A and B are shown apart, each in its own frame.
Chain A
Amino acid sequence: MDITSIQKTLEQELTEINNLDSLEQLKVKYLGRKGLLAQLTSSIGSLPAEQRAAFGKEVNAFKSRVQQLFNQKLADLEAIEQPKSKQVVDISMPGIAQDLGNSHPITQVIEEICSIFERIGFEIVEGNEIETEFANFTGLNIPLDHPAREAFDTFYLELPSVKEGKYLLRSQTSTVQIRAMSIRKPPIAVVAPGRVYRPDAVDASHSFMFHQIEGFMVDKAISFGHLKGVLEFFVHQVFGKDVSMRFRPHHFPFTEPSAEVDISCIICKAKGCSVCGRKGWLEVLGSGMIHPNVLKTVGYDTKKYTGFAFGMGIERIAMLKYGINDIRLFTENDLRFLKQF
C-alpha cells in the first residue's frame, strides 16, 4: 500500500460521495484513529532507520493533502446541501399567521367621518341613547303637537316621566346639540356619532335602529357660508374632489335657513341611474343654521352667537360608498359580508 495508490483511491471515493454523512464515514476510514493514515504513520516504525525521516515527511505532507481534500469536499457538499434543506418547506403553501378580524362597515364610515372633522378641530361627543322629550323634541324647537312626536315615529319607554318629559329612545343624534351646548360655552365645534331608533318595519331600506352623525359649530359670526365651506371640505374628503354638490332649501324645525345637501351621483357619475332615481343627485346630508330658539334653550346669547348644524345617516353613506343595496345586511352579521370590508 503506497501513498500514490491511496490518494488515487481516495480521490475516486470522494467523487462518489454526495452527502455529509458518507463523507464523515469516509473521513473516519482515512483520518480516524485506526484509519489508513494512522496505519501509514504506525508503519514508519517498521522501516529501516535511514528511510524513516523521508517517509515520515512524505506521510505528513500526504496527511495535510488528505485534510485539504476533505475540507474541499465538505465545502462543496455544504454549498449544494444547504439549498436542498430549505426546499423542505413548500413556499407555495399559504403563509401562517393570525387571521385579522374586520371592522364593521358602519364603524369604518363613522371613524372616517369623525377623523375628518377631528382634523379640522371638531370635538367628538357621544350622547345618551335614552333621552327625554325635551332633548329630542322641545329643546330642538319641535312643538308638542308635531307629528314626529307621535308614538309611531318614536319609541317611548316604560319609565316614570321627569321634568324634561317622557323618556324615549332618541330618534336623532340632534339631541347631542342640546346636551353638549348646555355644558359648553362658544366657541364650540362638535361631531356626535351614534345609534338612533324609530319604529319602522324592517325592509331593504328601513330599520328600527340605525346610525347618524350630527355636527354643529357655534361662535360669533358663524354663517351659512361657513356651513357651505365646512360641508364642501367634508364631502370632498369622503367622496372625492371631483364630486359636485348642491344646497337645496328644505325644512327642519331646528335649523333656519335649512338645506339638504345633494352630491352628484357617484354610481352613474350624474348621468342618472336607479340609485339616484335618474336625477343624477344623491341626498346625503340635512343641514342649516341652528334655529335661534335652540340657542336660547341652551342659554346662548342669540345677539352674539350664531351657528350651523348638520346631520347624516351612516347606513345611507355606507350603502353608497360600498354599493350595498340592502340595509338588513348591516345587522345580519354574516361573515361573508363582514369579511369584505
Chain B
Amino acid sequence: MKISYQWLKEFVDIRINPSVLAEKLTMAGLEVKGIEKIKDDFVYEIEITSNRADWLSIIGVAREVAAILNKKLIKIEKYSLLTRPKKQLSKYSISIEDKNDCPLYTAQIFENVRVGPSPEWLRKRIEAVGCRSINNVVDITNYVMFELGAPLHAFDRDKLKGDTIFIRRARPQETIISIDGQKHILSTQNLVIADTQGPVALAGIMGGRHTEVDNNTKIVMLEAALFSPVLIRRGRQSLGIQTESSYRFERGLDYQTVLKAAERAAELMIKLCNAKRVGVHTLHLPFPKELKLEVDSSYFCNNLGISLSSSTISQILSRLGFKVSKLTRERLQVSIPSFRRDIKAPIDLVEEVSRIYGYEKIPASLPTVILQSNKDTYTLYHFIRELKSLLRGLGLNEAITYSLVDQQTLEGFWGKEDVLIRVVNPLSKEQQILRPTLLPSLVRSVCYNLRQKQKEVKLFEIAKVFYKDKDQPQEKYYLSFAIAGTKIVWLEPELKHIEDHQGLLHTKGIVDTILSYLGITERVFVAQLDGSWNIEINGYLIGRMLEVNRNFLTKLDVKNQNVYCAELNLEMLFKLHRRHRDYQAFSRFPAITRDISIVVKDSVSVEDILEAIKKEADEVIRNVQVIDYYKGEPIALGYKNITVSCLYSGCDHTLSEDEITPIDARIREKLSKIFGATFR
C-alpha cells in the first residue's frame, strides 16, 4: 500500500528523514518495500499484514509513527473526527435484507452540489498514492478512504429510481455495468446496492456506471457502510476484480471508522462542493461493546524473556491508542479501541508492546536443554538418509519429481483406477491425481536426460505414494530408481574398454544390493503377466521391477534405448531390515578352487543352481560364483552352458584333494538329478 510522507506529517510532527522513518516502520511491523520520490513528497510502498485493516490508512500509519517516535497525533480536532453523523430525516429510506451482510449503512443526502475539479492540495494527496483525480465529489470519497481507511461511494441521487435504497444479495442472472464499463452477471453470492429497478453498485467493490456522479449532478447520496469481509472477498473473486475499496472491506473495518469517515466526507462536501446536507439515514446492528482485557506485567516477562515494568507497558499501549488503567501494582486493565479488531487476548498485547519496545532490544538466550530418553534415535527419517547415501554410492543421482500427475502419465504403470486420490481443484490436468507410484515421473526424468544426449542416466527418488483404502487416504514412502544408457568400462592393464549397457540385471543388482545392505536375503522375483517382476519377501509384495514399455518411450521421444526401473516399499523395508549381525567364524585354512561347467535347459534358474551347490556342501563351501555363461554352437538350441567356480576350505583343517573330490562328485550328481545338467 502507498503512504505519503507529507500526508503523514499532517498528523505527526516527524523530524526524521523519510529513509530513517522507513527503517523504523519496518522494524515495527510495517515493512517498507520501497520509497519513491514524487515531486516534494516521498511515497512508501508498505506491505500491510492481513490482520491490520487500520493500517490501510494515513491515520492508521500516523498513529503507529506517533507511537514509535513517542509523539502525539495532531490535527484530529480540526477534522472533528470523533463526531458521529447526526440523524436527519428526509423522504429517502434504507432497506437491508440481511444485517449480517451489512451490519451498518449510512446514506447522507447532499443537495445543491457543485461538481467540478478538486483543489490542488487534494489532488496532490490522492495522486501521490496512485489515484486519478475525477471530480471533487469522487475525489472526496477517495481522499477520505486513503486518510481514514473507510471506502465511501457517491451516487447521483437523481439517477436512482424510487426513494428506497436496498442492500441485498443479487438475484441469479441479474446484471450490472460497473463504472469501468464492464458488464457483470451476478449470483446470490454477490451483495449489491439496488434501487427499485435493480443493482446500482457492487457493494464494497465498485459503483455502477448508470448512477455515477457527473458534471450535471445536483443531488448526491453518499454511502458509508460496513460489509461482511468474507462476502466482499468471495464476491470480488467471483467477479475477478480487486479494488482499493474491496481491499479494505476484506480486511474488516470497524463501525467507528465508518462513521468518522462519513462525517469527514460531509465536512469536505460542504466545504469543497458548496453542498448542503439535507438527510442522514443510518441502519445498523447493535454496535459491539468495548473489549476490556486484564493482564499482569509478569505475563509479558514470561513470553518475552525480559522484564518490563507495568509503567513501560502502559506507556507503550497508550501511545498506540489503548486506554490503560492500573488495577494493582502488577495488574493492568486495557480497553481496546474499536479499530483494533485484531486484539482479542492478552497475548496480542504482548506483541504490541514488544514490537514498539523493539524486538532488537530483547536479548537472545538459549533454552536449557532437557535430556530425554524416550526419543527414537533411529527413525524412518534416518533410515531414508542412510539409504540415500547407499544409492549415491551405487552411482544413482537423486531426483525430485512432482507428487501430482495426470491420468495419461500413469498409463502402463498403474491399473487400479478406483484407489486413486484426485484433487478437487487442480490448476491444470498435470495436477489431477496424487500419484500411487513414483515410476512414471522418474522414467520421464530419465527420458528427458536421454534427449539431452546423456550417455548414461541413473536416477532415484524417495518420496511418498498415495492411494485410498475404503475412502481412507494412505501415504507410504517408496524408493524408486530408473536407469538407462551405456557406460564405458575400462579394463586394466591393456586399457581396452567395453560398453556396459544398463539392463534388467543391473536393475536386479541394485535391488539386491539394497536388500542385502539391509540384511534381507530371502527375496524372490516373480514374473508377472504384463512382463514386470514382483519382488516378494516371505510372500509379501514389497516392490516391482520392469522394463519400460516401448510405447511410453516413443511418446517421450526416446528411440533405440531402453529404460529399466524398480520401486520398493520403504516402510515395509524399514520393518523388515536387520541391523544386527551375528559374527560367524570363518576358516583360516588354505582354500581350494574347483570349477564346474554344466549344460542345462534355458529355463533352469542360475540362482537355483548356485543355491543347490551351496546347500550340498554347506560346511566347506565358502563361495560359489558364476564365471562363464554361454549359448550357441556347439551347445544345442534351448540350452545354456554355465561355469561356476566353487571355493572350498575346511573349518578345522586343510582340505586335501581327496576330500574335495567326493564332494565335487556329489554336487555334480545332484545337479544332473535336479536340473538335468550335463557336464563339459
Specify which chain A residues have a CB less than 8 angstroms from the CB of B425 in the assembled complex.
151-152, 155-156, 199
Chain B, residue nearest A302 (CB): B347
Set B304, B364, B400: member contacting A229, Cβ < 8 A = B364
Asked if residues A224 and B370 are in contact (CB atoms below 8 Å), the reply is: no
Quote the shortest CB–CB distance from A138 to chain B (angstroms): 16
User: What residues of chain A lie closer than 8 Å to B473, measured between beta carbons?
Assistant: 130, 157, 159, 167
Q: How large is the interface on B (under 10, 10 to 19, 20 to 34, 35 or more residues)?
A: 35 or more
Contacts A199-B427, A334-B448 given; indicate if A103 touches B388 (C-beta within 8 A). Answer: yes
Q: Is the CB of A256 within 8 A of B350?
A: yes
Give the distance in Å from the alpha carbon of A298 to the alpha carbon of B360 in the complex: 31
Choose one: A209, A221, A334, A336; the contact of B403 (CB below 8 Å). A209
What is the CB-to-nearest-CB distance from B247 to chain A, in angstroms, rounded to a whole number? Answer: 12
Decide yes or no whether A285 CB sits under 8 A from chain B: no
B365:A226 contact, CB within 8 angstroms: yes
Establish whether residues B421 and A157, one from each chain, have CB atoms under 8 Å apart when the complex forms: yes
Q: What chain A residues lie within 8 Å of B302 (beta carbons)?
A: 221, 223, 306
Q: How far is the CA of A88 from the CA of B496 in the complex (A)?
A: 13
Instruction: Please determine whether A225 and B362 come into contact, CB atoms closer than 8 angstroms.
Output: yes
Q: Which of A96, A101, A114, A331 has most chain B Cβ within 10 Å?
A: A101
Q: Which of B388-421 contact A (CB under 8 A)?
A: 388-389, 391-404, 421
* In the complex, A333 has a CB within 8 A of chain B: yes
**What residues of B have a CB within 8 angstroms of the CB of A99 in the complex?**
395
B398 close to A103 (CB less than 8 A): yes
Task: Contact check, A335 vs B449: say whether CB atoms are below 8 A apart.
Answer: yes
Is A258 positioned at the interface, with any CB of B under 8 Å from its CB?
Answer: yes
Which residues of chain A from 201 to 236 have any CB-CB distance to chain B below 8 Å in the complex? Answer: 201, 208-209, 217, 219, 221-226, 228-230, 232-233
- CB of A179 closer than 8 Å to a CB of B: no
A126 to B303 alpha-carbon distance, docked (Å): 28
Within 8 A of B (CB), among A74-90: 88-90
State whether the Cβ of A332 lies closer than 8 Å to any Cβ in chain B.
yes
Say if the beta carbon of A12 comes within 8 Å of chain B. no
- Interface residue? B320 (CB, 8 A): no
Taking a contact as CB atoms under 8 Å apart, the answer to whether A130 and B492 are in contact is no
For the complex, give the distance between the alpha carbons of A232 and B495 in Å.
55
Q: Chain A nearest CB: distance from B300 CB in Å? A: 10
Given contacts A90-B495, A338-B399, whether A114 and B28 have CB atoms under 8 Å apart is no
Q: Establish whether residues B303 and A289, one from each chain, have CB atoms under 8 Å apart when the complex forms.
A: yes
B531 interfacial by beta-carbon distance below 8 Å: no
A101-B460 in contact (CB<8A): yes
Chain A residues near B354 (CB, 8 Å)? 224, 249, 257
Contact B351 A219 (CB under 8 A): no
**B560: which A residues are within 8 A, CB to CB?**
none
Query: 1/0 contact trace for A323-341 toward B, CB 8 Å?
Result: 0000000111111101100
Q: Is the CB of B351 within 8 A of A249?
A: yes
Q: Are B367 and A195 neighbours in the complex by a CB distance under 8 Å?
A: no
A147 touches B350 (CB 8 A): no
Q: Which residue of A lies closest to B50 (CB)?
A: A251
**Cα separation A199 to B424 with both chains bound (whole Å):** 11
User: A27 at interface (Cβ–Cβ under 8 A)?
Assistant: no
1/0 contact trace for B539-576 toward A, CB 8 Å? 00000000000000000000000000000000000000
Is B122 positioned at the interface, with any CB of A under 8 Å from its CB? no
A96-B490, A230-B366, A332-B448 as given contacts; A249 in contact with B359, CB under 8 Å: yes
In whole Å, how far is A259's beta carbon from the nearest beta carbon of chain B? 6
Q: Mark B219-237, 1 if CB is under 8 A from A, else 0.
A: 0000000000110010001
B323-355: contact bitstring with A at CB < 8 Å (1 yes, 0 no)? 000000000000000000000010110110011
Whether, in the assembled complex, B288 has its beta carbon less than 8 Å from a beta carbon of chain A, the answer is no
Contacts known (A98-B394, A103-B392, A339-B397); A160 close to B370, Cβ less than 8 A: no
Distance to closest chain A CB from B338 (angstroms): 19
Residue of A101, A147, A187, A259 near B359 (CB, 8 A) is A259
Judging by beta carbons under 8 Å apart, are A155 and B426 in contact? Answer: yes
A124 within 8 A of B: yes
Q: Does the CB pair B363–A333 fall under 8 Å?
A: no
A240 within 8 A of B: no
Q: Give Cα distance in the complex from A106 to B400, angstroms.
A: 9
**CB of A246 within 8 Å of the partner chain:** yes
B457 is an interface residue with CB less than 8 A from chain A: yes
A225:B363 contact, CB within 8 angstroms: yes
Q: Does B423 lie at the interface of the complex (its beta carbon under 8 Å from any beta carbon of A)?
A: yes
Complex alpha-carbon distance, A152 and B236, angstroms: 14
Determine whether the beta carbon of A333 is less than 8 Å from that of B449.
Answer: yes
Given contacts A104-B400, A292-B345, whether A233 and B366 have CB atoms under 8 Å apart is yes
Q: Complex: how many Å from CA A237 to CA B34?
A: 31
- Tell yes or no: A128 within 8 A of B by CB: yes
- A158 at the binding interface (Cβ < 8 Å): yes
The answer to whether A292 touches B351 (Cβ under 8 A) is no
Is B52's beta carbon under 8 Å from chain A?
Answer: yes
B452 within 8 A of A: yes
Per the bound structure, the CA–CA distance linking A13 and B431 in Å amounts to 87
C-alpha spacing A183/B381, complex, angstroms: 18
Complex interface bits, A162-186 against B, C-beta within 8 A gives 1, otherwise 0: 0000010100000000000000000
Instruction: Point out the residues of chain A lying under 8 angstroms from B348, CB to CB.
Output: 256
B165 contacts the other chain (Cβ, under 8 Å)? no
- B398: shortest Cβ distance to chain A, in Å? 4
Contacts of B393 in A (CB 8 A): 98, 100-101
Q: How far is the CB of A282 from chain B (nearest CB, A)?
A: 13
**Contact assessment for B370 and A187 in the assembled complex, using a CB-CB cutoff below 8 Å:** yes
Instruction: List A contacts of B345 (CB < 8 A).
Output: 292-293
Provided the pairs A306-B303, A333-B445 are in contact, do residues A147 and B50 lie with their beta carbons within 8 angstroms?
yes
The answer, yes or no, to whether B21 is at the interface (CB within 8 Å) is: no
> Within the assembled complex, what's the spacing in Å between the Cα atoms of A104 and B384?
14
What's the Cα separation between A263 and B379 when bound, in Å?
32
B492 contact from A89, A121, A199, A256, Cβ within 8 A = A89
Q: Is the CB of B395 within 8 A of A88?
A: no
Residues from chain B with Cβ under 8 Å of A93 in the complex: 490, 495
Can you identify 23 A-B contacts, CB atoms within 8 angstroms? A96-B492, A98-B393, A101-B394, A129-B403, A147-B50, A151-B425, A157-B423, A157-B424, A187-B372, A208-B427, A223-B303, A225-B304, A225-B364, A230-B366, A249-B29, A249-B354, A249-B355, A250-B29, A256-B348, A256-B351, A332-B448, A338-B397, A338-B398
- Give me 11 other A-B pairs in contact (C-beta within 8 A), A88-B493, A195-B464, A225-B362 excluded: A89-B492, A101-B460, A123-B375, A158-B423, A169-B423, A219-B370, A224-B305, A228-B363, A248-B27, A250-B29, A338-B398
A-B pairs, top 7 by smallest CB distance, nearest first, are: A225-B305, A223-B305, A249-B29, A257-B351, A251-B49, A228-B364, A249-B355
Q: Which residues of A contact B (CB under 8 A)?
A: 88-90, 93, 96, 98-104, 106-107, 111, 114, 120-121, 123-124, 126, 128-130, 145, 147, 150-152, 155-160, 167, 169, 187, 193, 195, 197, 199-201, 208-209, 217, 219, 221-226, 228-230, 232-233, 246-251, 256-260, 277, 289, 291-293, 306, 330-336, 338-339
